[in-house]
């Protein structure tokens, strides 16, 4: 009998999973709450790591398309202090794909969507409840009252996953406040800022605060202000004036990034699950990506979501007659892989918003004399 697989959430994890299953001849329906692929902007740019995000794309048969969409020059990054002095400047080898090339999130999601049959994603299907059926599997209810059944339910529904609550009562805690702004057509409208940010990422590190900027493939700059989690109302951070006051004393060439934003600042809380979170295996259901292991955003979440998808798809394809053994094998390997990554992410997040962040980060990027220089060397202090 055919196994009916439902994937809740058509983000990077859910779509990668659907694509790899499809390559193995296994159908799955992706239920996505958004109305269409263009319903909302997908956010900034990601660097895909060879051992995780890029490996998943290879399993998806999309390595070639990734190379044509990715921007290896986006790996360039600079770290400055509040006076605008350069602490670290890393330039990748021109045209090299050996490191962690950047790709816009929207381009990556499109690449995955284009690789799936047209009916693989059921848009405008927000899952609101999943109820175990007496004979196994789950009954799914969507916000418009529509219902569907499945034999296997995979929660790829992100940070505030609905499916997660069927497996664990792990709660989220706030780890930071992030305020985002966007500067369109930067080369023409703000050439100084375009020059400052360069083709990749810029981080300006202060005491308990970071002003970051990132170049996207469409010529815009995405600005992100990271601040410690606090009890202040998020509305406080919608005021550009209030933000500029928080960066009082910083070099005006840097705070110009806040002034140049096209629309009002957009604040949000950044949350994480406890490190080491796991659950007891339950038949017919599992989680991938942020639903399984929401971590502070220090460069691993999307990569690990895609690797989860590749590993789960690989297990299901190798053992189609026994999906529970496949899920169990995936979960054990995933828990072991994620634990140290979640701990590292929590440490880096704490380091970035500490009073000694600049020193710590420079040390982080500077190899110790007894150690060989890392493969992606090129940092200068």
Ligand X SMILES: Cc1cc2nc3c(=O)[nH]c(=O)nc-3n(C[C@H](O)[C@H](O)[C@H](O)COP(=O)(O)OP(=O)(O)OC[C@H]3O[C@@H](n4cnc5c(N)ncnc54)[C@H](O)[C@@H]3O)c2cc1C
Q: Note the residues at the interface with ligand X (CB under 6 A).
A: 8-14, 31-34, 46-47, 126-127, 156-159, 162, 178, 289-291, 297, 299-303, 305
Q: Which is nearer to ligand X, 283 or 299 (CB)?
A: 299
Q: Rounded to the nearest whole angstrom, what is the least distance from the CB of residue 357 to ligand X in the complex?
A: 17
Give the nearer residue to ligand X in terms of CB position, either 97 or 123: 123
- Residue closer to ligand X by CB (options 129, 362) is 129
Rg (CA), the chain: 21
Count CA atoms within 13 Å of residue 316 on its CB side: 32
Nearest-approach distance from CB 345 to ligand X, in angstroms: 10
The minimum distance between CB 369 and ligand X, in angstroms, equals: 30
Per residue, the 3-state secondary structure of 262-294, as one string, reads CCCCEEEEEEECCCCCCCCCCCCEEECCHHHHC
* Comparison of 12 and 361: residue with beta carbon closer to ligand X: 12
Which residues make up each annotated binding site? Answer: 40, 47, 105, 290
Closest to ligand X by CB, 142 or 247: 142
Q: Smaller CB distance to ligand X: residue 34 or 251?
A: 34
CB of 159 to ligand X, least distance (A): 6
| Tokens representing residue 231 in the block | 């009890």
Please state the residue numbers annotated as binding site for NADPH.
40
Alpha-carbon distance of 289 to 269, in angstroms, equals 19
Identity of the residue, 50 or 299, whose beta carbon is nearer to ligand X in the bound complex: 299
Burial class of residue 338 in the structure, from the number of CB atoms within 10 Å of its CB (0-12 exposed, 13-18 middle, 19+ buried): buried
* CB closer to ligand X, 193 vs 288: 288
Tell me how far apart the alpha carbons of residues 264 and 241 are, in angstroms, rounded to a whole number. Answer: 11
Secondary structure (H, E, C), the chain: CCCCEEEECCCHHHHHHHHHHHHCCCCEEEECCCCCCCCCCCCCEEECCCCCHHHHHHHCCCHHHHHHHCEHHHHCEEEECCCCCEEEEECCCCCCCCCCCEEEHHHHHHHHHHCCCCCCEECCCCEEEEEECCCCCEEEEECCCCEEEECEEEECCCCCCCHHHHCCCCCCEEEEEEEEEEECCHHHHCHHHHHHHCCCEEEEECCCCEEEEEECCCCCEEEEEEEECCCCCHHHHHCHHHHHHHCCCCCHHHHHHHHCCCCCCEEEEEEECCCCCCCCCCCCEEECCHHHHCCCCCCCHHHHHHHHHHHHHHHHHHCCCCHHHHHHHHHHHHHHHHHHHHHHHHHHHHHHCCCCHHHHHHHHHCCCCCCCCCCCCCCCC
Q: Which residues are documented as binding site for FAD?
A: 47, 105, 290
Cβ 14 to ligand X shortest distance, Å = 6
The CB-of-296 to ligand X minimum distance in angstroms stands at: 9
For the CB of residue 216, give the shortest distance to ligand X in the complex, in Å: 12
**Residue 139 CB, nearest approach to ligand X (Å):** 15
What's the closest the beta carbon of residue 46 comes to ligand X, in angstroms? 4
Whichever of 165 and 325 has its CB closer to ligand X, that residue is 165
């Amino acid at each position: 009998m055919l196994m009916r697989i439902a994937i809740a959430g058509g983000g990077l994890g859910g779509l990668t999973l659907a694509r790899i299953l499809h390559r193995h001849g296994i159908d799955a329906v992706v239920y996505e709450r958004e109305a269409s692929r263009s319903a909302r902007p997908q956010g900034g740019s990601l660097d895909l790591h060879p051992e995780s995000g890029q490996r998943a794309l290879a399993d998806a048969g999309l390595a070639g398309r990734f190379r044509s969409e990715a921007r290896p020059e986006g790996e360039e990054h600079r770290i400055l202090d509040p006076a605008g002095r350069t602490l670290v400047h890393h330039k990748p080898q021109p045209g090299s794909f050996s490191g962690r090339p950047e790709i816009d999130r929207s381009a990556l999601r499109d690449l995955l969507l284009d690789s799936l049959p047209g009916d693989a994603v059921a848009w405008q299907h927000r899952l609101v409840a999943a109820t175990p059926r007496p004979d196994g599997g789950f009954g799914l209810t969507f916000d418009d009252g529509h219902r569907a059944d499945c034999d296997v339910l995979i929660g790829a529904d992100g940070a505030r996953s609905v499916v997660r609550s069927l497996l664990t009562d792990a709660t989220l805690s706030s780890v930071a406040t992030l305020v985002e702004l966007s500067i369109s057509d930067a080369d023409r409208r703000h050439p100084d800022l375009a020059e400052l940010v360069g083709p990749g990422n810029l981080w300006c590190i202060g005491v308990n605060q970071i002003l970051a900027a990132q170049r996207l493939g469409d010529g815009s700059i995405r600005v992100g202000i990271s601040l410690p989690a606090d009890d202040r109302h998020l509305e406080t951070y919608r005021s550009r004036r209030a933000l500029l006051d928080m960066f009082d004393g910083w070099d005006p060439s840097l705070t110009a990034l806040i002034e140049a934003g096209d629309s009002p600042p957009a604040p949000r809380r950044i949350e994480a699950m406890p490190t080491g979170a796991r659950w007891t295996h339950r038949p017919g259901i599992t989680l991938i990506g942020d639903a399984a292991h929401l971590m502070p955003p220090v460069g691993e979440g999307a990569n690990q979501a895609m690797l989860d998808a590749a590993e789960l798809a690989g297990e299901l394809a190798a053992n189609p007659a026994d999906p529970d053994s496949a899920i169990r094998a995936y979960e054990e390997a995933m828990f072991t892989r994620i634990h140290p990554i979640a701990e590292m992410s929590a440490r880096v997040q704490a380091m970035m918003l500490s009073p000694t962040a600049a020193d710590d980060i420079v040390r982080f990027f500077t190899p110790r004399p007894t150690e060989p220089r890392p493969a992606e060397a090129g940092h200068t202090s």
